[in-house]
Amino acid sequence: MKQVRIKDIAQKANVSIGTVDRVLHNRGEVAAKTREKVLNIAKEMNYQPNIVAQALTTKKIYKISVLIPKGGNDNIYWLSHPKGIEKAVKELQPFSVKINYYFFELHNEADFLKRTDDILNNLPDGVILAPILKKEAIQFCKKLDEHKIPYIFIDTFIDQTNCISFIGEDAFQGGRVAASLIDFGLAPEKDILIVNLAKDLENTQHLNRRNQGFLSYFLDSGKNIGMKITIEIPVTDQKVVNEKMDSIFQKNTNIGAILVSSAKTHVIARYLEKRKIKPILVGYEVTKKNVEYLKKGIIHFLIGQKPMEQSEKAVKRLFEYLTTRSISMKHEFQPVEIINNEIITTL
Amino acid sequence: MKQVRIKDIAQKANVSIGTVDRVLHNRGEVAAKTREKVLNIAKEMNYQPNIVAQALTTKKIYKISVLIPKGGNDNIYWLSHPKGIEKAVKELQPFSVKINYYFFELHNEADFLKRTDDILNNLPDGVILAPILKKEAIQFCKKLDEHKIPYIFIDTFIDQTNCISFIGEDAFQGGRVAASLIDFGLAPEKDILIVNLAKDLENTQHLNRRNQGFLSYFLDSGKNIGMKITIEIPVTDQKVVNEKMDSIFQKNTNIGAILVSSAKTHVIARYLEKRKIKPILVGYEVTKKNVEYLKKGIIHFLIGQKPMEQSEKAVKRLFEYLTTRSISMKHEFQPVEIINNEIITTL
DNA sequence: CTGAAAGCGCTTACAG
DNA sequence: CTGAAAGCGCTTACAG
């Protein structure tokens, strides 16, 4: 139970604490035999460095690079991640971690690669990234592996890498939650329209999983017996959306609820407002524009994936890894949250 | 920007660092004039102790006493607080904080006072308490003030004290959230039954606020035009509850939804299960028994107040105060969360 | 390849 | 009433 110090190891190994330190940090210049001995004793005594003492002497600043898409008015989701990161940094005080942000244009491979190069030139202690561009991300991870720089994924997971952890939404479950809400409020014989709305259907992975979850709910539970109509709208331009939606509503007069599987829910909300039709509307992400329509009562529920919490956790995990070289959990789905107009006031 | 050390203060004041330390910690044995001078310089330079160095030398263990009701099978809510506290302690590593728990019997004044005496004999560095027994709590807080022991309230707030912070549920908003859910799922002309069910109507404050919030929702929004029927059941005995509910349902045949304003929602759920009636049922707290009925589809929604997060925050706040003597926010309502059967699987 | 010493910022006896 | 020294566990030059 009592703390084991390098001094204790040194005594047992009959060497000086300097030597112990050298082997513990792989700083070379140690005879293989000595190294062996010290390592064994350290393991045997279950040595854990005292990170308070470490922090005091080194005044080390942990450099973490964050590689995520550029947020913006049309992409608020990625705007909240930095907030969560700052929160984590604050909570990690009095240890100092320095974040360097690298924002890339969504779906711009060249830009993504440019940023990864910047990171590799900077050589941080660890990286947090959203590996949205699969091929490029794998390539980047390989290089990080070479440099022995640990990395954590947020938002999207890809295997074939040595990421130490993944933190993201359980999109499938998020689809089921949306389904259960619609099922609760909708007359059973009404039809449900599922709108997959996103520029170039970006982030298709998440949208697909949400769709699957949504439909799976009605396969094994729920009281709705209406049709489930799925449409894809690969542009978010309001005019185009309106036309597309008009044609749908012309053909289907029994639609009682709409699920929008992306953060673009507000575009559909605007359409409904204009046309003065009032089906149940459920969508994703607590963005400014979405909340606006939540308050107007046009969007009934938003499913949030707590982006701030996600990136906050990512930073804490990475820090934990950097200081102790061990990690508690590899994968972690962040539970989604149900947001309506009454709950939004307390957030 | 650069760190100010006691050494810097000592130099400016022309004294030794030992003296600076003595005045900073009020350890006496310092000439009034010296004291004055050092204090001024410290303020002027905006000295903040380096808590890493502090931790290393003192190996101080922060003693925190937690005074909350005894949890149990019939009171799961208070069982989750210790979990949140342990989580905070873990996150606060590598600093050591030692928690001492003092559980009191709900509504037993003598027992409460006994525990407060125990705490005062122990003289912790700080206290976290649920001041449910108002008079006794105020009395206790006065004594803590005398000992200069800081304290934070959770769950219930009382003024007339010098608590450094309060963390708890916004019960009024919690009532509104429940109302909005029922309103979403219920046919507008149906009646709503509000059941205030609790042994001796304990914790009346919260139940009242939830009722007020619930009704306020329908006053300024919502589509329901049915009656709102409120009943009080001061015992949680299943048989008594069944009889009471039977008589209500006999008199009112138009009830389409039930709100239970307490964690005893499962008692009403069991009643409904037995009688095979299926109104919408919404209640409070994510307890084992409630979740059981959520899964059966008898309870439709639970409003959770995240007790774990509450007490986790309380510990972190108190620790922050103990180390820096400053606190960011005084009051903080923890937002409630909406839980249904689909979301529960991800928690 | 290895050891001994100094120092991180603070606190704690001890000496005067 | 005040100062100087030792020490917390670790890392970083420096000397050999």
Burial class (CB in 10 A: 0-12, 13-18, 19+), A201: middle
Does B1 have pLDDT greater than 70? Answer: no
Higher pLDDT, B33 or B151: B151
- For residue A82, whether the previous peptide bond is cis, meaning omega lies within 30 degrees of 0, is no
Cα distance between residue A26 and residue B246, in whole Å: 75
What domains, with CATH codes, occur in chain B? 6-48 (1.10.260.40), 57-163+307-334 (3.40.50.2300), 171-304 (3.40.50.2300)
Contact, B32 CB vs strand D, < 7 Å:
yes
Q: Which whole number is the average pLDDT over A69-89?
A: 87
Nearest CA-CA partner of A154 in A313, A337, A321? A313
Tokens of B271: 């009643």
| Separation of A52 CA and C10 C1' (Å) | 13
Q: Is A32 on the interface with B (CB under 8 A)?
A: no
Q: Over chain B, what is the mean pLDDT?
A: 90
Instruction: Tell me the chain A residues in contact with residue B92 when contact means C-beta distances shorter than 8 Å.
Output: none
Q: Is B341 on the interface with A (CB under 8 A)?
A: yes
Cα distance between residue B271 and residue B193, in whole Å: 14
Out of B53, B333, B337, closest to residue A337 by CB: B337
Distance linking the first and last C-alpha atoms of chain A: 42
Please, which residues have CB within 8 angstroms of residue B113's CB and are 6 or more apart in sequence? B136, B139, B140
Contact, A14 CB vs strand C, < 7 Å:
yes
| Separation of A48 CA and D5 C1' (Å) | 30
* CB contact at 8 A, B99 and B128: no
Instruction: Tell me the chain B residues in contact with residue A177 when contact means C-beta distances shorter than 8 Å.
Output: 340, 342-343
Which alpha helices (DSSP H) does B165-232 contain, by range? 171-185, 204-220
Higher pLDDT, B128 or B107: B128
Does B105 have pLDDT greater than 80? Answer: yes
- The answer to whether B343 contacts A338, with C-beta atoms less than 8 Å apart, is yes
Cα distance between residue A84 and residue A81, in whole Å: 5
| Separation of B237 CA and D11 C1' (Å) | 66
Cα distance between residue A178 and residue A340, in whole Å: 12
* pLDDT given for residue A190 in this prediction: 97
Does B301 have pLDDT greater than 60? Answer: yes
- The answer to whether B51 contacts A340, with C-beta atoms less than 8 Å apart, is no
Instruction: Tell me the chain A residues in contact with residue B313 when contact means C-beta distances shorter than 8 Å.
Output: none
Distance linking the first and last C-alpha atoms of chain B: 42
Q: Is A191 on the interface with B (CB under 8 A)?
A: no
* pLDDT given for residue B30 in this prediction: 78
| Separation of A9 CA and D12 C1' (Å) | 19
> Which among A52, A92, A281, A301 is the top mutation candidate for probing chain B, defined by the most B β-carbons within 10 Å of its own β-carbon?
A52
- The answer to whether B177 contacts A56, with C-beta atoms less than 8 Å apart, is no
Higher pLDDT, A262 or B59: A262
* pLDDT given for residue B96 in this prediction: 85
Q: What is the DSSP letter of A325?
A: S
**Tens-place pLDDT, residues A324-337:** 777 666 788 888 99
DSSP letters for B213-277: HHHHHHHHS-S--S-EEEEEE----HHHHHHHHHHHHHH-S-EEEEEE-STTHHHHHHHHHHHT-
Confidence of residue A73 (pLDDT cuts 50, 70, 90): confident
**Tens-place pLDDT, residues B2-14:** 678 888 888 888 8
Contact, B335 CB vs strand D, < 7 Å:
no
* pLDDT given for residue B54 in this prediction: 87
DSSP letters for A253-321: S-EEEEEE-STTHHHHHHHHHHHT---EEEEE---HHHHHHHHTTSS-EEEE--HHHHHHHHHHHHHHH
Q: Is A346 on the interface with B (CB under 8 A)?
A: yes
- The answer to whether A173 contacts B342, with C-beta atoms less than 8 Å apart, is yes
Burial class (CB in 10 A: 0-12, 13-18, 19+), B101: middle
Tokens of A109: 């491979």
What number of residues does chain B have? 347
**Tens-place pLDDT, residues B221-268:** 899 999 999 999 999 899 999 999 999 999 999 999 999 999 999 999
Cα distance between residue A266 and residue A258, in whole Å: 12
Q: Which residue has the tokens 């907030």?
A: A83
Cα distance between residue B71 and residue B176, in whole Å: 27
Count of pairs with CB atoms under 8 A, one residue in A, one in B: 82
* pLDDT given for residue B251 in this prediction: 94
